[in-house]
Structure 1
């Protein structure tokens, strides 16, 4: 009896083992051909390597190491708790930018919110705000730069770009109110690319708390403005906030308070972080490269001499700033304000022979094209002439993304940057106090010491 029992037991184990092996091999044989790479640690994946490379001042290292090891077209990783396919090169950019709503859709980690910026940010709408931008830039340089021989550019430009956004979007002029908004915003940026673990003291937790404070303040302002609109007291405001609260959408319904709050919130994030960072990077190059500064100065002085005393800039003046815009583009090629952007696969699809499963997240990055000698010869050289004419290979210069989801704030940033350059170079000569100051990424590029600049007034 014992013999038959043992035989039955052994045969049962044998057949069960065969069945399990069959299931395993069937699963393997039917599994998709995923991109090469590794997921890293449980939950956090390779997020620490990704953030660590950025904070070390070499954010492209994370990408370059993996493209060299796995594939120059697409590789697999895990970031922010998500399976991620990182697309590389111009072909990867083109595929993602042109595949919007066909293969992929916009996706942001729980630590980030990206929102559409509406018609307010189209060039024709922004032209009316050029004099306000010019006036506020003059006031900023006069009050926060002129009294000093040396200034830290990064904190000053962040304060300036944020104050300008508050003025244009919500008609907030009181510096104390602006500061009330800016303080919690300082907690948000470090949480953008942090691991989304909401434990007290973590960057993500601080970002969440900062977001709550800002949203409550925005709701208070929105409710007050709604009251003013109902009482007919906002006739002279007509800023973005009033337009959002009064203009109907395609369905004929008025935006709800939270929708308005989300849109203003997205604009303020962009103004506080990326635009201020971009201006800082440009000032860094202008101060480091005298021959670049001199050409920008010559262009801007021709515009300044054409203006009457006290006359503010207009749209025609902006259109003449071609060299200054080339300088801006080259600055953002070498030191882009953002590393890339996320998408989500809405269906299984194939790229470069690999399958990206539905639900996976994708990431396109500036670092596989911006410094690639195939697209930009002598890539480490600062050369604004690269942007003359239409000589760039498509999908290689992507600081604003591309396709239907290209950053809608591009034109707003362009105006703000060019107006700042005009006022800066016609007022000061610039000299870096720390010539080899390191750039760190958190997640945007930040000078380690705030970019200390020595000012030499021109008049």
Structure 2
């Protein structure tokens, strides 16, 4: 895996096109008091740095140069403003559905909207976006109580299959497999490990192309991602046909995919075509796949590098484990006792946010900090502008899970699951699977990072470029 870059052979033609484009581009007569900042190079803007540099540095450099509250740029082919700090987070959350609408980069639109869709660039309606999250009995708290025991059993089997007996494991990939084993059970209703492994490999290729310029030439990162997307969509549509056949033989819907098959599209009131269902499930799988697997991987790094933290987490988890009868699984009450373990996860997500930020589109002209942002411009809020603010978090560069015991961070400062109306609806589900993962790791192993200088992809997704390899020492009781 290599960092995503544009070669000179691509950049030079772009410059020639840009010169022609700007020479004949009509000038707008409407004047705006735009925020400070730079649009960068013609056409490509500042996309190269946005995709490849460490995100907190890229954002931080511009905050120092232009404004600590707001600046303009051009990335991913769009004029964009970046809203910084807790005030920026709050402004976006308070104005969802008023000033802002959902927007995804063109790369994501092409990956997650099938060619059957009439307008692949049109954002999905709010009703469509919330159909899955409002599905009865799947990711609501009452469902999660039921998931706890099944989740523990699945993760236990995962560790017996993929971890035990190994000297060194690549924890990012194995975490991807684990979160998909859980999603396969609860979202898709499948338990075939070979099928899950195939989906994990396809989705890994897709994740590399979420926020890049969608240049689709043979061998490019985006080209490989599109091939993986098409293969995954074909596999999901085959699964949909299998489920429909099972329904015809009297089977009952017991997972989210089945629910989508039997329910009407909230936007049309009609039954949903297979390709539309596949697209929705792909989006759900991506949300359940990318961020949790990165969080779990970096958890291993910080537990390995902080023995005192590891010992305290293990003590908490072993107290729970020792209270169980032989063969007894974790239950909902056990997870409520894992307070320190969850603080460790929160601290990992503060230092290495699984998603560095997210995008919106201005639904109308609006004013912020005295500047006017035109309708249609894209808006980006980024978590790094608060996570490393020393005015919010004392000694922000230090790994200190106890900071969450001492005080609760102010609102809109540490928001790994977003905020406001679009807060991640799977937050409680993610918490459950992360704590289950921690429980089974620290019960079994001590950890050592094989390469302390392993490289991490820049941009929005901090993916270990060549994986994160951990040496295991068995300490099972």
Select 1:238's aligned residue among 240, 254, 261.
254
- Structure 2 length normalisation: TM-score? 0.85
How far did residue 247 of structure 1 move? Answer: 4.1
**Is the 2:52–2:459 contact (alpha carbons within 8 Å) kept by the matching residues of 1?**
no
Contact 2:176 2:200 in 1 (8 A): no
Does the alignment pair 1:166 with 2:181?
Answer: no
8 Å CA contact 2:233–2:282 kept in 1: the answer is: yes
Unmatched 5+ stretches in structure 1: 1-22
Partners of 2:55 and 2:459 within 8 A in 1: no
**Shift in Å, 1:196:** 2.3
SS of match in other structure, 1:388: helix
- How does 1:9-28 map onto structure 2 within 5 Å? 27=29
Compute the displacement of 1:389 (Å). Answer: 6.8
Q: 1:380: Cα distance to partner?
A: 0.7
With over 3 angstroms needed to count, the CA separation of the structure-2 counterparts of 1:317 and 1:247, relative to structure 1, is farther
* Superposed displacement of residue 351, structure 1: 0.4
1:71-82 alignment, distance < 5 Å: 71-82=67-78
Q: Report the Cα distance in structure 2 between the residues aligned to 1:60 and 1:430, rounded to whole angstroms.
A: 28
Give yes or no for contact 2:316–2:340 (8 Å, CA) kept in 1.
Answer: yes
1:286-297 to structure 2, matched below 5 A, reads 286-297=303-314
- Are 1:365 and 2:382 matched, yes or no? yes
Q: 1:85 aligns with which of 81, 85, 110?
A: 81
Q: 1:61 aligns with which of 43, 57, 63?
A: 57
Q: How many residues were matched structurally?
A: 428
3-state SS of the aligned residue for 1:112? helix
CA distance in 2, matches of 1:442, 1:140: 31
Normalising by structure 1, what TM-score? 0.88
Cα distance change of structure 1 residues 433 and 272 upon mapping to structure 2, 3 Å threshold: same
Superimposed CA distance per residue, residues 246-276 of structure 1 (whole angstroms, 9 cap, x where no aligned partner): 3457686544433422221112112332111
**Residue of structure 1 aligned with 2:229, choices 204, 211, 234:** 211
The answer to whether the Cα contact below 8 Å between 2:357 and 2:460 also exists between their aligned partners in 1 is no
Structural mapping, 1:153-302, within 5 Å: 153-232=171-250, 234-235=251-252, 238-247=254-263, 253-302=270-319
**Is 2:42 the counterpart of 1:42?**
yes
- Name the structure 1 match of 2:164: 146
The CA distance in 2 between the partners of 1:449 and 1:249, in whole Å, is 41
Q: 2:361 aligns with which of 344, 347, 351?
A: 344
Among candidates 61, 71, 90, match of residue 94 of structure 1: 90
Q: Which moved more, 1:89-98 or 1:140-149?
A: 140-149
Query: What is the RMSD computed on CA atoms of the aligned residues?
Result: 2.1
Which of residues 396, 415, 419 in structure 2 aligns to 1:398? Answer: 415
Q: Does 1:451 align with 2:447?
A: no
Please identify, of 266-275 and 133-142, the stretch whose mean Cα deviation from structure 2 is larger: 266-275
Structure 2 alignment gaps of length 5 or more: 1-25, 113-128
